[in-house]
């Protein structure tokens, strides 16, 4: 299910070629996911890595995730609690 979510999110990515010839990519449904690359391929790979990190942080903090074409990762995702050290 997680891989399908990532694939759906990546299919919504928007890419732009910048003035210097590099690329910028972002996923508007996942605020804060933005990546850059010297080639479109590099940008796509970097954006997927950013998305994966974004998902880890959102899940760890118990934040609600964007719905992706019917995929709801909010259902049944346990909140991870910090270990208490004393």
Question: Residue 59: pLDDT band by 50, 70, 90 thresholds?
Answer: confident
Res 77 pLDDT > 60: no
- pLDDT at 64 (0 to 100): 84
Render pLDDT for 8-52 as a digit per residue (tens, 0 to 9): 999 999 999 999 999 999 999 999 999 999 999 999 999 999 999
Sheet holding 14-17, edge to edge: 14-17, 23-26, 34-37
Domains in the chain, please, with CATH? 1-86 (3.30.160.250)
Q: How far apart are CA 23 and CA 16, in angstroms?
A: 6
DSSP secondary structure letter of residue 38:
S
**Alpha carbon 70 to chain centroid distance?**
16
Q: Using CA atoms, how far apart are residues 6 and 21, in angstroms rounded to an integer?
A: 27
pLDDT at 29: 93
């Amino acid at each position: 299910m997680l891989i399908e979510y990532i694939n759906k999110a990546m299919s919504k990515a928007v890419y732009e070629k910048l003035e210097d010839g590099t690329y910028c990519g972002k996923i508007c449904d996942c605020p804060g996911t933005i990546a850059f690359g010297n080639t479109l391929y590099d940008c796509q790979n970097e954006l997927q890595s950013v998305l994966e990190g974004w998902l880890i942080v959102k899940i760890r903090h118990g934040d609600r995730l964007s719905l992706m074409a019917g995929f709801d990762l909010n259902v049944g995702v346990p909140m991870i609690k910090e270990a208490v050290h004393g």
